[in-house]
A = this chain, B = another copy of it.
Amino acid sequence: MKKIIIFLTLLSFHISMLFSESLKSPGGKLELNFYLDEKGSPIYNLNFKNIKAIKESKLGFKLKNFENFYSGFKLEGFKIDEKNEIWTPVWGHRSKIKNNYKELTAILKKNFNDKILTLKIIFRLFDDGLAFRYEFGKESGFDHFQIIDEDTEFNIGEDLNCFWLPGDYDSQEYFYEKTRLSEIDAEKKINEEGSIFTRSFINKNAVQTPFLLTNSNNKFYMLIHEAALVDYPVMHLIVDRQKFILKSHLTPSPIGDIKAFLQAPFSTPWRAIIISDKAQDIASSDVILNLNDPCSFETTDWIKPQKYVGVWWEMHIGRSTWNYSDERNLKLETTDWKSLKPNGKHGANTDNVIRYIDFAAKHNFDAVLIEGWNVGWEDWFGNWKEDVFDFITPYSDFDLKKIVAYAKSKGVKLIMHHETSASVSNYERRMEQAFDFMLKFGYETVKTGYVGWIIPRGERHDGQWMTNHYLRVVKKAAEKKLW
């Protein structure tokens, strides 16, 4: 019996090798191996120098109506490509960015009933990292389809040290924790940090990306993250604390088991592994920037990075308030906002804003952000309320015309604040009008906020619908040359 098992193991090893391919990074520091195992599951691993940084890890999906899209594949072939270019970012800490990688595309086929389905897995191997994405191409056999689970593995295989945030579909507001993989406990962490309003516990073993690992003698650092997050939910990681395997976990939609609603041709976000023997290389890596799509705007001269001060921190530390009044239970459409009783602590009042503009002018800040300028903050938060803000009505002590004129006279820009209170359906209805209001008063820059549980109810900050929303805001703003 033992002999047969050994024989089968050897056989399967042999078969898998028939369908394997290796790739070295441009400078040879990294090596990727890819193959189909004996079950037809796509497998990759990653070597960094002589270290097996990522051990044999599975790839694939569970799809609606195609439950198993992680095994039973046949290899149609490989495509090898490479790129070495320098490009110029619109803004950032470097004026030129080098994009140099080798690319391996594995083309996989699977029979499903009468259909032949195609999945492409595209690997890009840089000298400081590996990235890969799944492509459901035009000829994939898919049209409209839904993802139940993306089963991407990062098999660490050792109990490494790691820096982590607990998995949460709605918040990143945590302090990073440093433990071994086996010691991760997201539940304990969430309980220790105490409560903010929107914390959505996933499970004890869930962490967020970026997720940093290092071995105990700090021989390497490895960051797991994602790039080109477009029309897809945010990826969390579930940690197997015995086997030290991380597995992707997509932020859910409000619909049962479905995580993403897609239409081919579609490429998932890149799954990126940035790796180096120096911690500082991780922070300064351009892998994520290189993986994001090039800027699609025709002109970008209207995007002007700036330093700013904000009428906001004084609210956070309790010196003033976003709200003008302490009255409660107001309704946006029917409240007479002019006759509210002031609480005397409203931060965004004309005199105070002028003080900030003076400070910005004196100390060479480009702009002033003002939070709490518009009506609705009395009930803004935690009420599941949909029509919280209209984004066009200033409080009566915020003299918009005067402030705009004064800022202009001082050469200081104003940054508009659109707090949505996470009522995104309300914001989407009013966004066009709100942006036109900005243009009317010479604002060029907007900060949007999403505090609270998302409306449409059941959606998550990290869900597909919201990643689409964020991009929708950027596109709509760009149409009007707002940023």
Contact = CB atoms under 8 A, between A and B. Distances in A.
Interface string A134-145: 000000000110
Interface string A233-275: 0000000000000000000011100100101100000000000
A35 interface: no
Interface string A443-483: 00000000000001111000001001000100000000000
Nearest to A138: B329
A146 interface: yes
A331 interface: yes
Interface string A374-391: 000001000111100000
Contacts of A261: 384-386, 457
Contacts of A255: 384, 457-458
A199 to B, nearest CB: 16
* A146, A457, A458, A468 interface centre (most CB from chain B within 10 Å): A457
* A328, A384, A386 interface centre (most CB from chain B within 10 Å): A384
Say how many copies of this protein the assembly contains.
2
Contacts of A143: 328-329, 379, 383
Contacts of A146: 384
A429 interface: yes
Given A329-B264, A456-B465, A457-B458, A144 B385 contact: yes
Given A428-B425, A465-B456, A384 B254 contact: no
A432 interface: yes
B458 A254 contact: yes
B263 A329 contact: yes
Interface string A384-402: 1110000000000000000
A457 B425 contact: no
A386 B264 CA distance: 14
A325 to B, nearest CB: 14
A384 B64 CA distance: 12
Interface in A315-348: 328-329, 331
A429 B146 CA distance: 24
Contacts of A432: 432
A263 B385 contact: yes
Nearest to A146: B384
A87 to B, nearest CB: 24
A329 B144 contact: yes
A329 B379 CA distance: 44
A82 to B, nearest CB: 28
A155 to B, nearest CB: 33
Given A263-B385, A385-B144, A456 B425 contact: yes
Nearest to A468: B386
Contact of A456 (B264, B379, B457): B457
B384 A144 contact: yes
Contacts of A331: 263
Contacts of A428: 425, 428-429
Contacts of A456: 254, 425, 456-459, 465
B253 A457 contact: yes
Contacts of A458: 253-255, 456-458
Interface in A112-148: 143-144, 146
Nearest to A144: B383
Interface string A421-440: 00001001100100000000
* A144, A146, A328, A468 interface centre (most CB from chain B within 10 Å): A144
* A263, A379, A459 interface centre (most CB from chain B within 10 Å): A263
Given A254-B456, A254-B458, A457-B459, 19 more contacts: A143-B329, A144-B329, A144-B379, A144-B384, A144-B385, A253-B457, A254-B457, A255-B457, A258-B384, A261-B457, A263-B329, A263-B383, A386-B468, A425-B425, A425-B456, A428-B428, A428-B429, A429-B429, A457-B458
Q: Which 5 residue pairs are nearest across A and B when measured between Cβ atoms?
A: A254-B458, A456-B456, A143-B329, A144-B383, A458-B458
Interface of A: 143-144, 146, 253-255, 258, 261, 263-264, 328-329, 331, 379, 383-386, 425, 428-429, 432, 456-459, 465, 468, 472
24 contacts: A143-B329, A143-B383, A144-B329, A144-B379, A144-B383, A144-B384, A146-B384, A254-B456, A254-B457, A255-B384, A255-B457, A261-B385, A263-B329, A263-B385, A264-B329, A386-B468, A425-B425, A428-B428, A429-B429, A429-B472, A456-B458, A456-B465, A457-B465, A458-B458
